[in-house]
Amino acid sequence: DTAVSQTPKYLVTQMGNDKSIKCEQNLGHDTMYWYKQDSKKFLKIMFSYNNKELIINETVPNRFSPKSPDKAHLNLHINSLELGDSAVYFCASSYSSGGNSPLHFGNGTRLTVT
């Protein structure tokens, strides 16, 4: 049973296109996240939702729009893709214990913008 699953695993697209990444977790967690991992393997938080409410919105371009239809799902839509958006995007989930609950990650979506 996959705990945190993301689709697609790979996404290759051209500049200017719009794309979406989907994430689902079956761990019963109430908090979900989007992280971006750059080529140097640095993980940086982008967004976090707690029970469908946006609680973290880092300095991310407006072209990125997350949506959480329920606490088990978190999607990321990206408009007008740019070369610099190429990275691996990870979805994660945890319990809302004020930062003491470990994150559980999906296996990532490798986005390549050409």
Give the binding site for another protein (CB under 8 A): 4, 31, 33, 40-45, 48, 50, 55-56, 90, 92, 94, 96, 98-100, 102-108
CB of 80 to another protein, least distance (A): 27
Q: Between residues 9 and 15, which has the closer beta carbon with respect to another protein? A: 9
Q: Which is nearer to another protein, 50 or 81 (CB)?
A: 50
Question: At closest approach, how far in Å is the CB of 105 from another protein?
Answer: 3
| Distance of closest approach, residue 41 Cβ to another protein, in angstroms | 5
Do residues 58 and 35 lie in contact, with contact meaning Cβ atoms separated by under 8 Å? no
